[in-house]
Amino acid sequence: MKLHSFGYLFGEGVRSIFRHKLMSFASIGVLTACLVLIGASVLLTVNINALVGGAEQENEIIAFLDDFEKEESEAKTAEIRALLEKIDNVDRIDYVSKEQALQEEKDRLGEDAALLDGFEENNPYPAHFVLTVRDLTTLSATLEEISSIPHIYRVNSAESVTNALISLRSTVQWISTAVFIALVLVSLVIISNTVRLTVFSRRREINIMKMVGATNSFIRTPFMVEGTMLGVFSGFLAFALLGGLYKWLMGSFDGMNFTIGSFDGMVPFADLALPLLLGFLLAGMLAGMLGSVSSIQKHMKV
């Protein structure tokens, strides 16, 4: 196709948007709403993954040790550490002695630390290992492995909270996928119906063009341009709306001092802006092009 011909066809596609203002406005509105909902599901998934990732980094397991005689304490502790290091899912291992445990409790009590004076000789706080894991999805199995190690008499972990976070992440991912597929189909139908009305109103013109020898690509291009431009407008509008809403929500959560593990708030929008914008534009363009192609296809045969 020659350049001047493409310029003419492109202009026809753009003019068609303004000739059918009401349908174009409706299409942009519905497609924008679909893209905003798709983007919201993506952002929710990203933040849930960040939340679980933060819990994964900071989730601590405390393995309490039996009391040992002083002469065997160092050897037994080293033996237990070696067994812990053999567990694949264990990431970091920190040892806290009885003396350190007592001092930490004093630090926690602050002004009331005097309540623990005199416990140095008969220290009730056990030595323990503080562990972090690499993968929370196998936490239960990891806890069983740790508990089976000799001289570890109790293991503490926020397993119920962890399982709830993992379940939440899985649920959100499934729902987001379903919402994404459903909204993409709705968007295709809306764009397709909009272009179909335009095609129907120009069906005689299309038939005449076919009879005088116009190629399918010559006839199809303006409609593809129209659908693509509707998708691009919708993509930019959806990005602006979702960006404003997301930043407002970020301000609301920041005021709540919301912190879990290393997750201290929503993922900054700047980190997501470029891929989100590109995704919106690509999704809008594809929806517009596919809707246009499907609408005009049956009129290509005379």
- Going edge to edge, which strands form the sheet with 152-156? 90-96, 128-133, 60-65, 152-156
Q: How far apart are the first and last CA of the chain?
A: 22
Over pLDDT 70: what percentage of the chain?
Answer: 76
Residues 182-225 pLDDT 10s: 877 776 676 666 666 666 666 676 777 777 777 777 777 777 77
The answer to whether the CB of 122 falls within 8 A of the CB of 34 is no
Q: What is the pLDDT of residue 53?
A: 66
SS3 percent helix, strand, coil of the chain, rounded to 5, is 75, 10, 15
Tell me the HSE value of 221 on the side-chain side, using a 13 A CA sphere: 15
Q: What is the pTM of this model?
A: 0.60
Chain segment 38-93, per-residue pLDDT in tens: 888 888 888 877 776 666 666 788 999 988 877 788 888 999 999 999 998 888 89
Token pair recorded at residue 170: 């899985």
Pairing of strands 128-133, 152-156: unpaired
Q: Can you tell me the distance from the alpha carbon of 84 to that of 255, in angstroms, rounded to the nearest whole number?
A: 40
Domains of the chain with CATH codes:
3-55+163-300 (no CATH), 60-157 (3.30.70.3040)
Give the position of tokens 């068609």.
Answer: 16
**Smallest Cα–Cα separation from 287: which of 212, 213, 190, 153?**
190
Q: CB–CB of 264/207 below 8 Å?
A: no
- Residue 294 confidence class, pLDDT cut points 50, 70, 90: low
